[in-house]
Structure 1
Amino acid sequence: MAESARDLLDSIATSFTEWRPQASGESVVDGPIAWRGYDDARARAAVRTGESESVVCGQATVGDIEVALVVFEFGFLGGSIGEETGRRVATTFQRARQRRLPVVSVIATGGSRMQEGMRALSQLHGLAREIAATRAAGLPQVSVLCDPTTGGGWATLGAGADVVLALPGAQVGFAGSRVRPDGDPRAYTAEAHWDTGQVDQIVDRKHLRDALARWLRLLTTPAPRAVDPPRALGATDSPATGWDAVVRARAPERPRAARYLDAYFAWREPIRGDRAGGADDGVLCGFGWRDGAAVAYAAQCGTATRPAGFRTATRLVRLADRLGIPVLTLVDTPGAAAEDVAERDGVGPAIASLFEAIASARVPVTSLLIGEGGSGGALAFAAPDRLWTTPDGYFSVTSPEAAAAILKRDTSEVPATADELRLRPSDLVDLGIVRGIVGP
């Protein structure tokens, strides 16, 4: 049995003022479709839970941030979404926009309320409209998936949030346990949705308040200007030749993205996945705290970047742009994944979307080349006007090996081809590709 809404409220908010609903002015015996016994079922649910509907809504303080809060009461008819539920949630989103508050939805629901038929299901249109309007207003939305989060509650308030947190072991899925077809039950867990990039973080119940407070601070405290690139953590001297630059960038001991991010930020929180069933562990995305403000980051980890990695970075840049948060990208890949699976997964459109997201961003994007810069798969992560490199980096139209093969040169000519490509950090400065070489 899910926790009561009031218990959840007490555990995550330091203050709460409930927004009491106004009477709808409509009273129909046994609801809009005259479902026999519906009024009695609602009355029993009210006595059992102490609530008049399946949601409790109001203004709360989480950490030091004021939020508009929606908390589901699963004990009230399984947290199902009916007309009055939809009306209360819509009012909460409208007040959030009026007061410029982020929205937090703590969800425990079995889906739409059958006793109200299509009048209940149609509430999903209204929820989607409020989510879209709040997104357009530049306000962040965070959802917390409790057990269970299924049906329309998952497909609107849950999956439609900017950041999705979930409690361990929570049942999550569009189909509820009583109606889904036979198959692997693990697919309907929070952990499975994290694996496939539909949930950003699994958060232990005892850490939920702190996690929400950190996320809300990040999403509501943008850095006021473009950020400087990180300092170099590896070599300090320039490579003598193009091939030396390639060898240095490919060295396994060279500092990678995680080390740069840890040195740059006081602390950070990750987002995960492309929201389309894919996650690339070779791309780190999220928001970090630096000098008292938030910066978004998208960082390649030195592996071939998969379609899901490009799409996750695109999601990150677009979210940061909407919230007014500057972006830092770290470039480090031998190139985009090129095997048949990547092609079927849409690597070309994924790269195109990231190019477009960075090109159209209204917030400043700062980029640092920390290792390999292999062709368009690397360039897609780079800001065209705010790009720096470390002494460990190289950028190339294609790898020296591929260039030699295309030109039908012997493999012994690969080092010389690297020199001809002019891909050293100093060459990139001379060619006007990067602004400069960062120091330690």
Structure 2
Amino acid sequence: MTDPLRWAGYAASFARARERTGTDESVVWERAKIGDHETVVIRFEFGFLGGSVGTRTGALIEQALDEARSHRLPVVSLLSTGGTRMQEGVPALRQLQRIARGLVLLRQERLPHITVARHPTTGGVWASLGADADVVLAVPGAQVGFAGRRVRPERYADDPAYTAENQYAAGYVDELVAEEAIADRLEVWLSLLTGASQNRPADLPRALGALDPAPDGWQAVLRARSADRPRAGAYLDDYFDTRVTLRGGADDGVLCGLGSRGGRPIAFAAQTGTATTPGGFRSATRLLRLADRLGLPVLTLVDTPGADAGPAAETAGAGNAIAELFGTIAAAEVPITTLVIGEGGSGGALALCSADRIWLTPDACFSVIAPELAAGILKRDPEEIPALADALKPRPEDLLALGVIDGIAGPEPVTFLR
């Protein structure tokens, strides 16, 4: 042990913790197999001084991350901690920087990190090794948050904000997993995160809706807006054998995750037909960056009347979020396949589009602006909206003739060779 502050009684507490748990510190790590996947597993022992981080803990975690980098292995962190060990003061606190640096180096090697927040997971460990992971799982009922029970105001001691369920609802936890199911779920996630094989684009999904062309632009818009048209969920179910979701905020208008198609992992970001919020664009950016780092091809499904134009969205940085996604797609080294399955509304739709592989379903449309908004800008009467819609040339056939899309999807999927 180290005792930089010479804290009264600390040596005795440390000895009791060691005897009680059979471990030399609050963290142990090992190479272990989860299903067929060789991994480095970092495990916190809460019975050892509350799973707290001491001056030796950072070194142990750094060793684990070095092992993962040296042997190109994914990392799984099983957390259960109260935060930094106060008896070792600021020297212990600064271990969080050491952990953060180790995670940066892991990402630079394009290796995935999954964390599991068990009860409790609080303090600096949640804010470093936990919340910064590529995928965050949590056990239902666990206390999860930066402020631990004994340091937050007493009136908030039992506030549901500090729970795994709330972190999930807010989009900071990707999946709630019962203790007995952790190993199985880790195997599923590892299969999708580590299965990149070749830099071939994702297959183009088959069209699920109407296959006949719309007679004019206004009919194309109305058909794309129809409640009966297949939406993202139907396309994802038809396309993937299995899939998992990376969480975002509620009602953000984008579904993001990883799926397996014919044993091949593919990342996806799919708009759900509603106006996309800044949080939705940021979720897509997170997904694209993860896929690009791990070498996974990406499928995007476009279906939105446009970006959320309300004051709350503007305050949340709508333009900034869209710009970040544009830049992420432009910089991506992995292939991105885009299928517009509904209404493609202006920049809010284009932000999710591939730079070089865009297709439309026959019952979709894409326009620089909604015809109703065009009428407002041009000061036209409402009865002129259908004619304006046709003038905007939003039909797949119009866009193909203009040379701005690659094709129109049919009843069979398309496999791209490169």
Cross-structure match for 2:406: 435
AA at the equivalent of 1:352 = A
Deviation, structure 1 residue 46: 1.2
CA distance in 1, matches of 2:237, 2:197: 18
CA distance in 2, matches of 1:194, 1:355: 27
Which stretches in structure 2 are left out of the alignment for 5+ residues?
412-418
8 Å contact from structure 1 (residues 171, 189) kept in 2: yes
8 Å contact from structure 1 (residues 232, 439) kept in 2: yes
AA at the equivalent of 2:105 = A
Deviations 1:297-343 (A, max 9, x none): 00000000001000000000001000110100000000000010000
CA distance in 2, matches of 1:349, 1:282: 17
Q: How does 1:115-194 map to 2 (within 5 A)?
A: 115-181=87-153, 182-183=155-156, 185-194=159-168
Q: How does 1:32-431 map to 2 (within 5 A)?
A: 32-181=4-153, 182-183=155-156, 185-224=159-198, 225-273=200-248, 278-431=249-402
AA at the equivalent of 1:234 = G
Which stretches in structure 1 are left out of the alignment for 5+ residues?
1-26
AA at the equivalent of 1:62 = I
CA distance in 2, matches of 1:223, 1:243: 43
Query: In structure 2, the residue corresponding to 1:239 is in which secondary structure?
Result: coil
Q: How does 1:5-16 map to 2 (within 5 A)?
A: none
Deviations 1:282-302 (A, max 9, x none): 210000001211100000000
CA distance in 2, matches of 1:256, 1:356: 27
CA distance in 1, matches of 2:366, 2:35: 43
8 Å contact from structure 2 (residues 252, 278) kept in 1: no
AA at the equivalent of 1:220 = T
Deviation, structure 1 residue 280: 3.8
Bigger shift: 378-387 or 219-228?
219-228
CA distance in 2, matches of 1:360, 1:430: 28
Query: In structure 2, the residue corresponding to 1:363 is in which secondary structure?
Result: coil
Relative to 1, partners in 2 of residues 1:223 and 1:243: Cα closer, same or farther, differing over 3 Å? Answer: farther
AA at the equivalent of 1:145 = A
CA distance in 1, matches of 2:119, 2:179: 12
Deviations 1:364-405 (A, max 9, x none): 000000000001000001112100000011000100111111
8 Å contact from structure 1 (residues 279, 309) kept in 2: no
Number of residue-to-residue matches in the alignment: 408
CA distance in 2, matches of 1:242, 1:371: 14
Relative to 1, partners in 2 of residues 1:207 and 1:281: Cα closer, same or farther, differing over 3 Å? Answer: farther
AA at the equivalent of 2:6 = A
8 Å contact from structure 2 (residues 41, 76) kept in 1: yes
Query: In structure 2, the residue corresponding to 1:355 is in which secondary structure?
Result: helix
Bigger shift: 206-215 or 107-116?
206-215
Deviations 1:112-153 (A, max 9, x none): 001101111010010000000001110000000000000011
Cross-structure match for 2:415: none
Deviations 1:7-43 (A, max 9, x none): xxxxxxxxxxxxxxxxxxxx65xx1111111111111
CA distance in 2, matches of 1:392, 1:282: 20
Deviation, structure 1 residue 223: 4.9
CA distance in 1, matches of 2:262, 2:404: 29
Bigger shift: 31-40 or 318-327?
31-40
8 Å contact from structure 1 (residues 223, 295) kept in 2: no
CA distance in 2, matches of 1:207, 1:174: 25
Bigger shift: 290-299 or 219-228?
219-228
Query: In structure 2, the residue corresponding to 1:419 is in which secondary structure?
Result: helix
Query: In structure 2, the residue corresponding to 1:75 is in which secondary structure?
Result: coil
Deviation, structure 1 residue 281: 4.5
Bigger shift: 33-42 or 369-378?
33-42
8 Å contact from structure 2 (residues 346, 366) kept in 1: yes
Cross-structure match for 1:12: none
Deviations 1:198-217 (A, max 9, x none): 11111122221111000001
Identity %: 58
Query: In structure 2, the residue corresponding to 1:418 is in which secondary structure?
Result: helix
8 Å contact from structure 1 (residues 49, 75) kept in 2: yes
8 Å contact from structure 1 (residues 70, 105) kept in 2: yes
Query: In structure 2, the residue corresponding to 1:164 is in which secondary structure?
Result: strand
